[in-house]
Structure 1
Amino acid sequence: METQLVEAIEKSLLTGQWIDPGSGHETLPHIDVIKSVVEGSFSHALKSPTAGRVFALRPIKTSDIVDGPISSWLDLPEAQDIETEVLRLGYAVACLHAFLQANWTGPDLQVQYADFLPFSPETAEAATEELLDRKAVSELSYGGEPAYHLARGPLFLRFAQILLALPYSRCSTAPWWSLRTWLVHQQVLDEPVAVPDSVFSSLHPLIPAVSSDRDLLGQLHLEQGLLEHRLSNNKSAADYFARAARATGLEYELSGALGRRTRFQQSDVSQLVLLAESRPRGESPPRESNSAIASKDAREPDGPSAGATKLPESLALNDDTLLEQTKFTSSQAADGSITSRLGHLDPAAQPALHPLDQCILLSLCLNVKNTSPAHGLTNEEMSAFVNRVIAHPANWSVHTMALLLRSRLEATRTRTVERSTLQLQALVDQMPTADSSVSERLLYIHDIPLPSRWELERELALQYISLGVTKSALAIFERLEMWEEVVKCWQSMERPDKGVAIVRDLLEGRKAEADVVLSRGKESTSHRRGFLDAAREAKLWCLLGDLEPANAINHYNRAWSISGEKSGRAMRSLGGYHFSRGEYARAISCLRRAVAINPLLHRSWFVLGCACIREEDWETARQAFSRCVAIDDEDGESWNNLASVYLRMEEAGQKPVANDEDAERDMGAPADEEKPAPSVPFSNKMLAFRALKQGIKYRYDDWRMWYNYMIVSMDVGELSEACRALGRIVEERAGKDGAKCVDEVVLERLVDAVTRDPTDVQAGATGGQDVAAAHAATSGLFRILMDLFERTILPRVSSFRIFRAYAKLLTWQSRWEEALKAYLDSYRCSTAGTIEKGETDVGKWREAVGEVEEIVDLLRNFGPRVDGSKWQLQARSIVRTFIGRTKDFEDEPEWERLTSLLEELRKED
């Protein structure tokens, strides 16, 4: 085969559009098969005699069918020619897309395994569709996570995996199809599981090869991002999505334009809008038009004719207040005339986007969801992305995904929840219909996170539960055999006994799942049945352990044993069981196994980290919380715990700081006064500071995290950040705690940092620039600190030490009148200013005498510097008032000091 022909075939498979390889190749059998795959006629390809070259079976016995791995059935010698490689790649794509058609896009698949697997008469009776499905589901279980057992045609996905695992020395796009297969496989598992590093690394040589085709390069980056998103690597996913947009030339930006959102709105206000424009793609027909080209030969795809395409219906809102869509009254965005590259676009009449660019926008919308709070402007941002795609439907699957995202966004709003539910039901109902061609539905299926049929129905059932329609949800869950959700439904209906009974019936054989019913009566031993159902049976035992706490540990151990020590769920459950009972060492042992099986589950790492903190295993705790924030960098609690661990580790990260002072300074528990921890290395303090700085972005209202951040900021010399943290604490706690919310020690240290002698600043500086920098830093901190006092603290709370600190700051600025007023305010909050008649505590009175003498000295020093000040009158009034309130202490030695002071003030007048 010519290299040019192979490249045309590989590109046809990737793009879903048949590229004519040129004259002279039309009669080749493999060309006809590949063309069938591209056009979605999988039954034609799989029933072709050419399929025998790929799905040739070795001489096998019935026992091999029942007990042997599926890969051992096929005779797949090393490919000696490029034609064999191309055929294997083509049939791998056919199997993958057949599985997607059966479970994602519909309509129902019109092909059976027997159509292309030439079993001998001796083995054909044993190799039933049901047995093959069960074996495939069993082998699709991966990383301790079971595959969904009611997936249709799972053997197709397994064959795609087997064929793509073969070596391909001539077909350069095989790693790309491996990436697509992994992405589909992840969605079949109960929980996402880490993929081998080779899945991404094997794609690196492919990037230069496709870089000449901007759309292909954009697709590659987009699909890498979707897999990263599935694995919760959101930062990496965002990077890939941005690369995809750059590759395809998509221009987009969020902006504002005047418009109206309700029927009764009288004036225009700024509305959020996404401006987006695809790059010009010349005069070649857009890829979506492929679905409108009728097939010219006698071969029919597995669905309707291509000319019968009908896009999913977008249901009307039918609300008496909200408009169907925002009505923009401005023909230009708010910033369009200034800096925007898309300022020429009319928000109300934007051009249609290429379907691939629509896929990128929907993926960017997912990224907005993952990096921002789930309320407020974020929903509006996501709606802007989705509405931009819905406005110009171009492809069946892409439009379905956009409607699904809109349904999710509208599910939480009273005025839109009805359309949300009805739209979701409509999307479920359209799957088995024949309103569009298979090739149309599969064209962009790898470029959008469209859920499977069962996940879509599960989402509908969960929405029913949110609306209180629990019985309808229960019916869906029972049909899908999602027993965990079934149990939750019975619990919400206050019938937990029904849930327990269902699980026990399943385990004891009184109630059977659909595939077990189909295979019952066939010749298979109980041992074989147990092997085939091991993953699901282990999950059921874990579920029973959740329902029966008294016997939980036995049920979890049994699940672990049945799974062959592969069930991550069993170890997660055991670890949680031991942790809840304070058995931290056992919890650590179980959770270590759980994260080794499936390292992508955030909760397992978090509980492991907490258990390690209790056991003072700081290094493992650091690793655990580091993985938590790597999986979910919005987890503020994990950032806080990671900072706590850093403050308890030695420089090497191995030994804990074991002293009482550090124990008292437990993170999240404010101390009455600051206690230094000299044994904590500065590098660890800086790591803790950075962790807390990241964490407070996502726990902005958590005053405890702000307190921790304030203390660590002081330790590492980030005084401006300490000011900011103290301000947030006051904002959050002033209404409940009053002046106690202010850490007065920290406040006084901040004031000292500003007001210290300038010679102290210069002492640590070696040159003029260093001195200037030190003065600039002091000046900047002064402005921040003054703002903290005047805008945040003093309008809310007051105390003696707060006013004294404020007065000291004003004195440093030579603002004598304001400083004197602040000192007088501090006196009114002091013991002397608040003492009442009838006080009997001598110690308190003596303290107050000292405060009276101090304020008089301050009046003597500052009063003459204030124009028009009547400081003598103020001083006499203070002393006279205090004497009048405390006549009961006339016999005390200090009384004479007060009378002498009053006499001196009279003479000074």
Structure 2
Amino acid sequence: MNEIQKFEQYLLINIPIPDSETDVSPYVKEILNGEYEVVLKNEFFSSIILNLIDENIEENISINNDNCKNWFYISVASFLYFIQSNWTGPFKKEDIDSLLRLRRRASTYLSFHDQFNENVSKSELLYFAKIILNNDQLHKHLPSSLWWLFRVNHIHQLILEEASENLFNKSENLIKQISISNLINNDSLRTLFNIEVAQFYFYYRRIQSSEIYLEDARAVAKLSFDLEGALGKRTKYQQQAKPQLYLNAKVDKDLFPHRVCEILPKVINLSDDLRLEKVEFLIERKNVELGCIEEAIIMTKFFQLKLSQPNDQLTDEEIIPYLNNVIDNTKNWSLRMSALFQRCILESNNKRTIERSLSQIEYLIDQLNISKTFISFRLDLFFASGMNPIWLFKKHLANMMLNLGMVKGALDHYLSLSLWEDVIICYTILEKKYKAAEIIQQELSKKPTVKLWCLLGDVTEKVEYYETAWKLSGEKSSRAQRHWGLYYYSKKNYKESVVHLKLSIELNNIQESVLERLGFAAMQIKDWKVAASAYRKYCVLEQSNFEVWNNLAKVYIKLGDKRRAWYSLQDAIKCNFNKWEVWGNLMVVSIDLGHFSEVIHCYHRIMDLKGVYVDIEILSILSKAIINNVKDFYENPSRKYLKNTLELFGRLTASISNNSDIWILYAELTVLKNNGMEYQKAIQYFQRAYGAAISNPRSFKSVEDVNKVLGICLRLAEISMSYLTNCSNTQKKVILVSVKLCLQSVIKKVEDLIWEDQSGITENFIKVKENLKIVLDLLIEIQNKED
């Protein structure tokens, strides 16, 4: 691939052209100055556009050495003008006349069988830019066109209401091509590219993929940042300083070149009667000056943490220092806008900050329409900022109004934004659900769409409307099948639900919520293969949901694939380390597979979480495996786990002293150590087992329970006899007396039992009597020796 030219670098980074550069096209200067309309309305370009034939425009674009740059300039100008019209502002009503005729074609081309967001303005600009940038000849002549196409695809995805598998795959292919090209041949470009790729993966919630590029960006920039604590005060009347989090950032190289925007969105003051505007630290902290690209890395880290952590107040406390660092220090317009918007989202959940959040979002919306800040400055690092389009600013304003109980005000905003799902919610709150159906029908009379037919089906609960939506899409809409399937899902008709949800996934594989419900519905009808497929695909998209990993393990068990179940449960544990039920499931699968070290680890962890926990079945299997020295999962003798298992029983008996089963297993394992001291311990454990057994009111209620007590006595006698050979007469006497008392007591209890049929215990009862006779004889023998 050709070397990237200087003017391509200027356009990618959006930096001013040095005065020393005299051979740069005036079109490049106009684009960098934000004069996109000037470029698009240029007579040369207008005539080219007008001469294009509507059908197969792609084939009419001729790229060669002479005019490839011109096509490139017009595509970039068209794309950036689209960004201005939907993201950065200031927004202009005037259209580009020569491109206006492409709007209908753009609507079809960009929609992917489902309508894109109704608030998108000047869609023909994006369409025209994408058609040009998709040209293979352009890629050969101008390598940066691949990067611009990647940006176009990402923006295209952001205007769609459904995640597109098609766009995802194409964009990943572009990432690979750019990564091995000469495009990112310097640190500044490489860092910027890594940030933009991370932002791309955030949309699809590919957290692990994003981390790779975020870490590379941080490493190239030689930027380090960590959360640290320092004493400070958060409230006005706080007497004692407490530890507060802040972000400590350091750079070990010169900052990347950047320019300063003088007119930035202002920060609205909190104006609270209790909270301070900022945390007041006891020791003044010195801020490290960062460049805009370095700040973009910190902002990207914020997004990564926000997506990967649980959505709760603790997470908010941990990620807000990243936002504050950007808000307080950045001189970049897009980063400031994006950071302030994200803070509005976080603060909208707190009663002390929601008023500031409401005022701030209203101010930001106004700023998008004000032309004080030059357009060119607004585009600096735009693609690395994670900034949202104007309609999401307005939607969040409506959401806050709804949270504050301003239902009618929120409804007006939702109606203006054509957010019909939210309109339905508002009318439901107002107990006017019929009104939502009326409005949707009015919109359908203007322009029937798949989305509207689906929503009408949701409101009226009539299946035929989903079928109409499906046919309207030419049987290609994943949305129609999703709504259809979820209707049956809500009615618990899982068999029908699986049919439609499965088809929806076949049409669009990137639907986490649908995959989760498909997996659950398939489990309900015992279609284990479909459930496993759905959960596997979900876990590829969203790797932090322990419940799905847990369900996937259950499905694998049903399919008889315990190994895969074990690995799934390992992933579930990573997602939620504090859910004892998942540890219990992992323990059960581990015992089946012979992962004995994992069984012991799981049991300890469950006790950490629950305090008291008894699972005799697991303990019995583990103990028998060690006693019989069976092979573990790795074909090693299981006797190697004896020490750790004894430690587990030691911990168990310290908190549970009245369970005879535990004492029996503990004693049997202790005997395996085969030395005098351990034999003595084993005798004590059997005595504890006997005491726990006879103290249980149920111990002599059934043949099984009586045989259990008799078995303990027999084993106690057997172990005691084995130990006597290495004891003094005094020790022998103490042990035999103790055993005698146990045997005599149990014999009397059994003789007092009144049963019609005692044949079930006769054999063991006779053996106990025989052992008692032996014990008595030994005591007489010892007594004679002493005399």
Do both share a fold (TM > 0.5)? yes
Q: Would the alpha carbon gap of residues 806 and 267 (structure 1) be closer, same or farther in structure 2, given more than 3 Å must change?
A: farther
Residue of structure 2 equivalent to 1:342? none
Partner residue in 2 for 1:158: 127
Of 260, 263, 272, the residue aligned with 1:310 is 263
Distance, in Å, in 2 between the alignment partners of 1:798 and 1:561 is 68
The 3-state SS of whatever aligns with 1:275 is strand
Indicate if the aligned counterparts of 2:516 and 2:548 stay in contact, CA closer than 8 A: yes
Asked whether the equivalents of residues 689 and 712 of structure 2 are also in contact (C-alpha less than 8 Å), the reply is no
**1:539 match:** 451
**8 A Cα contact 2:175 2:197, kept in partner:** no
What is the CA-CA distance between 1:75 and the residue it aligns to? 8.9
Counterpart residue identity of residue 17, structure 2 = I
User: Match of 1:186, SS?
Assistant: helix
Query: Match for 2:500: what amino acid?
Result: C
Counterparts of 1:383 and 1:50, CA distance in 2: 50
Partner of 2:400: 463
Find the partner of 1:232 among 183, 205, 219: 205
Q: Could you list the per-position Cα deviations for residues 19-67 of structure 1 after superposition, in whole angstroms to 9, with x for gaps in the alignment?
A: 24856647xxxx22221111112232223223225423347xxxxxxxx
Distance across 2 between alignment mates of 1:836 and 1:203: 70
| Correspondent of 1:828 among 691, 697, 701 | 691
1:261 to 1:865, Cα distance in 2 relative to 1, 3 A: farther
> Among residues 301, 326, 329, which one is paired with 2:279 in the alignment?
326
Residue 351 of structure 1 deviates from its aligned partner by: 1.4
In the other structure, the counterpart of 2:503 is: 593
Query: How do 1:729-748 and structure 2 match up within 5 A?
Result: 729-730=606-607, 742-748=614-620
Matched letter for residue 221 of structure 2: T
AA aligned to 1:140 is L
Q: Determine the C-alpha separation between the residues in 2 that align with 1:792 and 1:455.
A: 55
- Give the deviation of 1:149 after TM superposition: 1.4
Residue 513 of structure 2 is matched in structure 1 by 603
The one-letter code matched in structure 1 to 2:549 is W
Match of 2:186 among 207, 213, 238: 213
Q: Which amino acid aligns with 1:91?
A: I
C-alpha distance in structure 2 between counterparts of 1:879 and 1:200, whole Å:
76
The one of 119, 143, 150 equivalent to 1:179 is: 150
Counterpart residue type for residue 825 of structure 1: R
Match of 1:90 among 73, 83, 101: 73
| Aligned-partner Cα distance in 2 for 1:855–1:477 | 78
Whether contact under 8 Å (2:522, 2:528) holds in the other structure is yes
- Offset of 1:489 from its aligned partner? 1.7
1:253 correspondence with 2:226: yes
TM-score (norm 1): 0.75
Deviation at 1:568, TM superposition (A): 1.1
Equivalent position to 2:582, from 705, 711, 728: 705
Aligned equivalent of 1:726 = 603
CA distance in 2, matches of 1:459, 1:592: 32
Task: Determine if contact 1:646/1:685 at 8 Å carries over to the other structure.
Answer: yes
The answer to whether the 8 Å contact 1:102/1:108 transfers is yes
Change beyond 3 A, Cα 1:328–1:787 = farther
Change (3 A) 1:22 1:855: same
The 3 A distance-change label for structure 1 pair 205 and 708 is closer
The letter for the 2-side match of 1:719 is F
CA RMSD in angstroms comes to: 3.7
- C-alpha contact (below 8 Å) 1:362/1:448 kept by paired residues: yes
Letter in 2 for 1:218: T
**Structure 2 residue 594 is the aligned partner of structure 1 residue 717:** yes
Paired residue for 1:641, among 532, 551, 562?
Answer: 551
Q: Secondary structure at the match of 1:431?
A: helix
Match of 1:576 among 479, 482, 486: 486
- Taking a change above 3 Å as real, the CA distance of residues 901 and 793 of structure 1, as seen in their structure-2 partners, is closer
Q: Map Cα deviations across residues 573-625 of structure 1 (whole Å, 9 max, x no partner).
A: 22334456676665444334312322110122334444555666655544332
Which residue pairs with 1:803 in the alignment?
Answer: 663
Match of 1:39 among 26, 33, 36: 33
Q: CA deviation at 1:896?
A: 8.7
Equivalent residues of 1:57, 1:75 under 8 A apart: no
Instruction: Select 2:563's aligned residue among 686, 690, 697.
Output: 686
Aligned counterpart for 1:13 among listed residues 2, 8, 11: 11
Question: How far apart in 2 are the matches of 1:728 and 1:793?
Answer: 16
Q: In the superposition, relative to structure 1, how do residues 815 and 202 fare at CA in structure 2: closer, same or farther (>3 Å)?
A: same
* Cα distance between partner residues in 2 of 1:897 and 1:236: 68
How big is each residue's C-alpha offset from its partner over 1:179-213, in whole Å with a ceiling of 9 and x where there is no partner? 11111111111122121644333454544424442
1:226 to partner: Cα distance: 1.4
- Superposed displacement of residue 543, structure 1: 1.2
Higher helix share: 2
1:98 maps to a residue whose letter is Y
Aligned equivalents of 2:198, 2:239: Cα separation in 1? 44
**Structure 2 counterpart of 1:103:** 86
1:503 equivalent in alignment to 2:365: no
Decide whether the 8 Å contact of 2:570 with 2:586 is kept in 1. Answer: yes
Give yes or no for contact 2:40–2:96 (8 Å, CA) kept in 1: no
Q: What code does the residue aligned with 2:614 have?
A: V
Aligned with 2:114 (options 145, 148, 151):
145
Tell me the residue number matched to 2:411: 474
CA–CA distance in structure 2, aligned partners of residues 591 and 456 of structure 1: 32
3-state SS of 1:889 partner: coil
Q: Could you give the per-residue CA deviations for residues 444-481 of structure 1, whole angstroms, max 9, x where no partner exists?
A: 11112211111122122223333433333222111211
* 1-structure distance, mates of 2:556, 2:627: 32
Q: Note closer, same or farther for the CA distance 1:685–1:491 as it changes in structure 2 (3 Å cut).
A: same
CA change 1:619–1:396 in 2 (3 A) is same
2:217 pairs with one of 241, 244, 249: 244
The one-letter code matched in structure 1 to 2:669 is L
2:645 aligned partner, one-letter code: L
Deviates more, 1:445-454 or 1:893-902: 893-902
User: AA paired with 1:834?
Assistant: N
Matched, 1:367 2:304: yes
**What are the Cα deviations for residues 213-268 of structure 1, in whole angstroms up to 9, with x where unaligned?**
21111111211221122122221111111122223332323344454445555555
The residue type paired with residue 199 of structure 2 is: L
Q: Following the alignment from structure 1 to structure 2, what is the Cα–Cα distance between the partners of residues 440 and 408?
A: 25
Cα 1:22–1:610, aligned 2, differ >3 Å: closer, same or farther?
same
- Taking structure 1 as reference, are residues 405 and 807 closer, same or farther at Cα in structure 2, changes over 3 Å only? farther
CA contact (8 A) 2:143 2:183 kept: no
Residue 270 (structure 1) shift: 4.5
Contact kept, 8 Å, 1:879 with 1:898, in 2: the verdict is: yes
Q: What is the alpha-carbon distance in structure 1 between the residues aligned to residue 626 and residue 313 of structure 2? A: 39
User: CA-to-partner distance for each residue in 1:754-803, whole Å, 9 max, x for gaps?
Assistant: 4556xx78xx99xxxx9xx968x855x34543443344675268522122
What is the CA deviation profile of residues 672-694 of structure 1, one whole-angstrom value per residue up to 9, with x for unaligned ones?
Answer: xxxxxxxx5xxx43322111100
User: Are 2:228 and 2:248, in contact at CA under 8 Å, matched by a contact in 1?
Assistant: yes
- Where 2:50 maps in the other structure, the secondary structure is coil
Aligned pairs for 1:841-880 within 5 A: 844-845=705-706, 848-855=709-716, 870-871=734-735, 874-875=738-739, 877-878=741-742
1:376–1:719: structure 2 CA closer, same or farther, 3 Å change rule?
A: farther
Q: Is the 8 A contact 2:690 2:709 kept in 1?
A: no
Q: CA deviation at 1:9?
A: 1.9
Query: Does 2:665 correspond to 1:788?
Result: no
Between 1:320-329 and 1:744-753, the stretch displaced more is 320-329
Q: CA deviation at 1:559?
A: 0.7
Q: 1:354 Cα shift?
A: 1.0
Instruction: Give me the whole-angstrom Cα distance separating, in 2, the residues matched to 1:500 and 1:227.
Output: 36
CA contact (8 A) 1:315 1:419 kept: yes
Q: CA deviation at 1:357?
A: 1.4
TM-score with structure 2 setting the length: 0.86
Q: Distance in 2 between matches of 1:474 and 1:606?
A: 31
